[in-house]
Structures are given as structure tokens and as C-alpha cells.
Chain A
Amino acid sequence: MSGIAIRVKNISKKYEIAAGKRRHDTLRDHVSDAIRSFVRSNGRSPRPRANEFWSLKDVSFEVKRGEIVGVIGRNGAGKSTLLKILSRITAPTMGEAGIYGRVASLLEVGTGFHGELTGRENIYLNGAILGMRKAEIDRKFDEIVAFSEVEKFIDTPVKRYSTGMHVRLAFAVAAHLEPEILLVDEVLAVGDAAFQKKCLNKMEEVGHEGRTVLFVSHNMASITRLCPRVILLDGGRILKDGPAHDAVAAYSEHWLDIGAVHEWNDPATAPGGAVARLRAVRVRTENSLMSDGVDIRQPVAIELEYEVLQSGYVLLPYLNLHNQEGAFVLEALDVDSEWRGRSRPQGVYASTAWIPGNLLADGVHFVSVGLSTMSPDIMQFHVYDAAAFHVIDSMDGDSARGDWTGALGGAVVRPLLKWTTVQREAPDGRSGRSLTRA
């Protein structure tokens, strides 16, 4: 048998984003569209049709048998699409791929878990959904239960489980799959630290058993630990394919390309729908200077500038922040009372959100912005990673790290909290002052 496990040849995937993004069509829409285009056929332009969006563009690579390959990239880089195509959840628009061996894909843990069913029943259901045979589940059942650490509750409906138990049970099933090729997405980003470690160990075991693994993740630490080879995707293309440290380094540097200001000067290419169009996203600080680097103690302003093309809609501008590990840091909608609940006349608007100082952790932050109309809820634009800025830890002693200058645990935010410390007991056994006073 040849030494290839996965062969991907010129895979491209096109999505169509409707001008006004709808979750699903109704017959009425199509009928009214047809009538409208018929009526307007003399001279006037029809309603703008769907926009094309290439989630993957001409991606080719090969994975050898036994290789463990990581896939990284920013949000919207095409990682998940690649995984969905290889998992046969969606079909590519062009190109082809071959999978050589028994394959299992884990796009999430606990797919198909049903709250009304017991832990025992869910092990069977979830196992079958992941492609296990009943006989195989029977054989591994005790092992799965032991791994999950929920023995006592195995005959309780999982809706009574805590989130942690739920995740542990789900992962226990997944960890006992025995495919030759495993496609994994981000599933380790759940559960408590100790259990995550257990899972990582199990994954490493998998690697040592000569299994081929394609691992999509935002977690740089686990990617570099698990995957000798890493593929970096950006904008649907392969930017780098090589040793893990090279690709991870390229990824971290890559944010510099984005910058703190993003302006769309050409209305034809600016993201937008029929009601509103994005003109610029700017990150700045209090003294109004555009800035890539922001002191951790300083507030950061994120400004969306957009043009309202059609009057009469209540608009909901919003922004999301992701950090460089891809963790979702925060989301916020415009709450300015000036325009809240009021429909907007045409014109150019700027909505600015202030993120207080001493809230974000240090490191690179990616800003995604969007705007949708309120009723009906129609997305006008949503731009991933429209801008980026770097929060710099000053280490001057007045941020949340206090006097500690060593490494921190990597929390997503680092707010400065109000702390009070009092002495409650002295070594000679007398109560501290704060207690005796009461």
C-alpha cells in the first residue's frame, strides 16, 4: 500500500453569501425575486444577487501515513472548511481529495448527545454516530466509562450532568475511536485543565500508534507539542507548510499585515449590503493617534465608519475580539442611546467603542466588525479580522500583574480587580484587628 494517507489536489470551495444574509430561503422569496426581475427587466437593475466567497482556493498537500499535521490560521482562513471537506460534510466546488484508510472525524465532542438519554445510552449513540460498530462499543464500554470518570452517573440522563461531566463523557467516547486517519478540530478547547492534559496525552498515544492525524487548532501550545508539521492557512490558501516552529512563527508575525486601520476606499469592493456599507475600521487610543501597540493600562477605541445607503432601519453595529490563540475574547453591540432603537437617515456614521484599560490581556487582538439591521434581522456586513492591535504589558506594577514579572497563565482577559487584604489572625493566636472591631 502506498505511503500516502491523505492527498488533497487543488481543492477550492465557494460559498455564496446572499446580499442580505438569510438563514434559509422561503418559496416566497424566490417567487417575488422572479416577479421582480421580470418586472424590472426593462432598464432597472435587478436586486443584487449573492456574493461569492472563496473559503478555500486551490489547496494541495499530502499527508503521509503516520504523520501528525497541524492546521492553523486566523478565523475565516479556511481551516474548518478544509476539515469539513475532508470529513465529507460538505463537497468541494473544485478539485479532489483521496483518503487512504479508515477515517474518523471529530469536529466537536459529543456530536448527537441527547439530554434525555442516559450516559450509557449516549455512549452507544455517539459511538455509532462517530462510526463505531456496536460490538466495538460493547468491547470498549468499561474502558470508556473509566476514562470519563462518571461511573456513578452512567445511568442518569445526561441533561442532569454538569458541563464538565458532559464533556468528559463525550471525549471518552471520541478518545476510543480507532481509525487509521483521524481528523480533529479544536476539540481540546473544552473541559478543565487536568482533563485537557489527559486528552492531550491520549492524542499523543494515538500518534505513537502510527495513526495519521490532521489536527486543526488555535492552541499554539498544543499544536507545537503534538504536530511536527504545520500547515498555515490564510484567506483560503496555504501560506506555509513546514516544521511546526516555522509555521507558528509565521502565524504570529502575520498579524502585522493587518494593522490598526483598515479603510475601503472603493465602494465596489467595500463589504456591505443594501442598507449599509463599511468604510473603515480604526483602532486608536485616547490621544487619537492610530496605533498598533497599546499600553495594557490605556483604553482602546475601536471605530467603525459606515455609510447608510437606505434610510429607515434601526442598525446594530457590533464588534468581536479574538486573541492570537483564536480565543473569543469579547463581543459588544453599540449601546449608544443616541441612535438606539431609532431608524437612521442616510449618511456616514462612525460608531466608536471604548475598551477600558486594564481589561484585555497582553498580546495581539484581532477585531472583527459587523452590522445588521434590526427587524428584519439582515446582516449587512461581517468582516473577520478587519484590524489588529497589540496590547503591551508595561510591567510597571500598576496593572493586574502587580509586582509579578514572570509568566502568567494565559487567561483571555486581565482586568484590574479591587483587592483587599487584611490580617485576620496574628501568630500569637489573637484575632486580627478587623475581627475584633466588629
Chain B
Amino acid sequence: MIVHDVSSTDAPHIRIKPVEGWSGFGLKDLWDYRELLYFLTWRDVKVRYKQTAIGAAWAVVQPFMTMVVFTMIFGYLAGMSSEGQPYPLFSFAALMPWTYFSKSLSQSVTSVVGNAHLITKVYFPRLLLPISAVASGLIDFAISFVFFLGMMAWYGTMPTWRMLLAPVFLLLTILTALAVSFWLSAINVRYRDVGQAIPFLIHLWLYASPVAYSLRELPEKWQLLLAFNPMTGVIEGFRWALLGNTAPDVRSMSVSAAVVLALLFSGVVFFRRIEATFADVV
């Protein structure tokens, strides 16, 4: 059982009150329920590829096919610069975090609504739902990363010490996915429009991120504007860490990071403010 520690014996372990104002981040509650986070994530992973013919290979198929298409259209036909890298490597290095991000988003936006049967029947910190949706995609990411290492070997590209910094950029991806997920999954409880808009939003977001093209192809002022899209920092970071492309600009990197933190913070605040009404509205 989850033990709610009490310092004073007279204070209730759980105090139930009307929702008024700010009730904190609930980090302790999240920590108490960490095992449930594990089980929810594990459930999502287990169920995802049940009754599919190729199972976890799907984790690679999607970014791989996108890479093939991008290579044909942008690499060969449009002849876009890939900063001296083979275009497949150049695009796959970006497609890994991008696929993880977009899958996390589409999973987590419906995570609260999709678990209505839990929300109306049992208490747990509601933040676990979008968090577990984002966490469950990490397995797919790991699989496609292994595939990418194979691609690097195929093209004879040597990894450098910078690859050790890839986790930093992965963390930035996770935080971005979480931040957007908190906002959208909460809004989706009330306005199902979000669920309708999300495929479209992801589609637009893809083109606003330097996945198919190089950031340096753009005029200077556009580059800075694009930095407000946190996925720009993520993708630039990944390319630099994995392929040794031009180091990301410190200024745009900090803009990306600042945007993520602001989104994340406000997302948690927003989610926590309206989570008490989820069971009544969903």
C-alpha cells in the first residue's frame, strides 16, 4: 500500500477539500506512485504491438520509410544540402527524435480521455497518464537508435565522443514532449477538438522543424525564429552529437531550452489546476 506519512498524529493522512487555487506540483504524490507509472508504461508497451505481424519492427519501419521518401524527394530531386553527410543519415538522425516526439504526442493527447475508466474509478496522480504515454515511446526510440548505429556502420561514419552527449538532447526531447502533452491532454478532456487537430498540428510542426532540411539553408533571422520551436534545438543537437555536424548555436539552443522549460512549467500548473474536474467532465 501507499503509505502517506504523517508528522502529526492528529492530522489526516488525506485531506479532501474543494479545489481552490494552486495546490503545488504534487511531486511527492508522483514519487509515491512511481510503481504505478512503471506499470502503466509497461502496459502501453506490452499492448502496443500485440496482434501485429511484425511487432516491434514497427518502431523502425515508420522512420525508415519516411527517410526513404525524404531521401528521394529532398535529397535527390530537390538536391537539398545535408551538410556533407549522406542524406539518409542526415535525415534519420533527425527522424529518430522527431518520430519519438510525434508518437508521444499523439499517444499522450488522448491519454487522459482514453483512460476515463480509470479516472472515474480510482485515485492516482493524473499526471501519470501523459507521463506514461511519453515514457512508453522510449522503447521504440531505443530500437530505432540501434538501427541508426547500423546505418552509421553501413556508411562508414565513425561515432565520436560527442555521442555521449546524445542523452542530453534526448532529455530535451522528452521534456518537450511532456510539456506539450500536459497542455494538450488536459485541454482535450474538455475540448475534443484537440484530438482532431493533433495529426494536422504534428504535420505542420514537422515542416517547421529542420528534419528534412538543414537549418543553415535558411536566412539568419529565420534561424532564430525557428529556435522558438524546441524541436529545432533537439534536432540540431542530435545531428551534432551523432554525426558531427556544425555545433548548434548557443543562442538558439538556449532559446529552445527556455521555451521548453516555460511550456513545461506552465503545462504542469495548468494540468494540476483542472485535473480535479477530469472525472466530472470526461
What is the interface of chain A, defined by CB distance below 8 A to chain B?
A: 1-2, 7, 15, 24-28, 84-105, 107-108, 111-112, 114, 116-117, 121, 124-125, 128-134, 136, 177-179
Contacts and interface: CB of A to CB of B under 8 A. Distances in A.
A177 B118 CA distance: 18
Most-contacted residue by chain A among B9, B121, B191 (CB, 10 A): B121
Contacts of A124: 39
Contact of B13 (A89, A103, A117, A132): A103
A86 B13 CA distance: 12
Contacts of B46: 116-117, 121
A133 B35 contact: yes
B281 interface: yes
Contacts of A117: 43, 46-47
B16 A101 contact: no
A125 to B, nearest CB: 5
B17 A130 contact: no
Interface of B: 1-4, 9-10, 12-19, 35-36, 38-40, 42-43, 46-47, 50-51, 117-124, 189-193, 276-277, 279-282
A27 to B, nearest CB: 5
A114 B48 CA distance: 12
Contact of B190 (A15, A25, A95, A112): A25
A111 B40 CA distance: 13
A89 B39 contact: no
Most-contacted residue by chain B among A90, A93, A98, A100 (CB, 10 A): A90
Given A15-B280, A117-B46, A131-B1, A89 B122 contact: yes
A111 B122 contact: yes
Contacts of B13: 99-103
A200 B3 CA distance: 27
B280 A94 contact: no
B12 A99 contact: yes
A24 B16 contact: no
Most-contacted residue by chain B among A7, A84, A129 (CB, 10 A): A129
Given A15-B280, A92-B18, A111-B117, A100 B12 contact: yes
Given A7-B12, A88-B14, A102 B4 contact: yes
25 contacts: A15-B280, A25-B191, A87-B123, A88-B14, A89-B119, A90-B276, A96-B17, A99-B12, A100-B12, A101-B13, A103-B13, A108-B121, A111-B118, A114-B47, A116-B51, A117-B46, A124-B39, A125-B43, A128-B36, A128-B40, A129-B122, A131-B124, A133-B2, A177-B1, A178-B1
Contacts of A108: 121
A112 B190 CA distance: 22
Contacts of B117: 111-112
Given A26-B192, A116-B46, A178-B1, A98 B12 contact: yes
A258 B261 CA distance: 58
B122 A130 contact: yes
Given A24-B190, A111-B121, A128-B39, A2 B16 contact: no
A88 B121 contact: no
Contacts of B118: 111-112, 129
A91 B121 contact: no
Contact of B35 (A7, A101, A111, A128): A128
B122 A103 contact: no
Contacts of A104: 1
B192 A24 contact: yes
B16 A97 contact: yes
A129 B36 contact: yes
B193 A26 contact: yes
Given A112-B118, A133-B1, A85 B16 contact: yes
B16 A86 contact: yes
A24 B47 contact: no
B191 A91 contact: no
A99 B14 CA distance: 5
Contacts of A15: 280
Most-contacted residue by chain A among B119, B122, B190, B276 (CB, 10 A): B122
A179 to B, nearest CB: 6
Contacts of B10: 2
Most-contacted residue by chain A among B10, B16, B39, B190 (CB, 10 A): B16
Given A99-B13, A111-B121, A129-B124, A84 B1 contact: no
